[in-house]
Amino acid sequence: MSRRSVIRRLALGAAAATSVVVLLSGCSAISSLLGGETRDESGAIVEGGDTDVFTLAEGDCIDDEATTEGEVSEVPTVPCSDPHTWEVYKNVTVTEDEYPGDSGIQDIAEEECMAAFETFVGVAYEDSVHEFNYYTPVSEGWDMGDRTINCLIGGMEQTTGSLEGAAE
């Protein structure tokens, strides 16, 4: 199963997204053996790796400069103290019973991610130097219960640390 990455060029640049599912701490050892990330007891990534898009959590940092649309199933994550391109700032659960279609799910993602942007970073999107993007469920995933949109903040420039409250 995969999610669709939709990169939208908005007023200042690209838009990114992902899906959030909390990874159980007992699974992190198995994940690291398979080349995945390692998380501490709080769920924070302490060692990067390829992370299943369905296990991304708010606060996860992604070192991925992709600027094209497409389906993804894994993304390269790193501790947020390391340079990274994107940070998951909001996970949205869509409540519709029927898949709203590709353009419908993108509309929902843009509305929800834009609405959460200012609260997270501390300034309106139009006044920010940062961009957003999102990962959305695909129709096949929807049929298997995937309802999560992952909102990401960042852009083409790498940052270190969280952008929460950065007010820029």
Domain range annotation of the chain: 3-158
3-state secondary structure of 159: strand
Encode pLDDT of 66-100 as tens digits: 545 688 889 999 999 999 999 999 999 999 999 99
d(CA 155, CA 12): 10
**CB neighbour list of residue 115: distance below 8 Å, 6 or more residues apart:** none
Amino acid sitting at position 63: D
Nearest Cα neighbor of 105 from 129, 141, 53, 60 is 141
End-to-end CA distance of the chain: 36
pLDDT digits (tens, 9 = 90+) for 12-62: 222 233 333 322 333 434 444 456 899 999 999 999 999 999 999 999 999
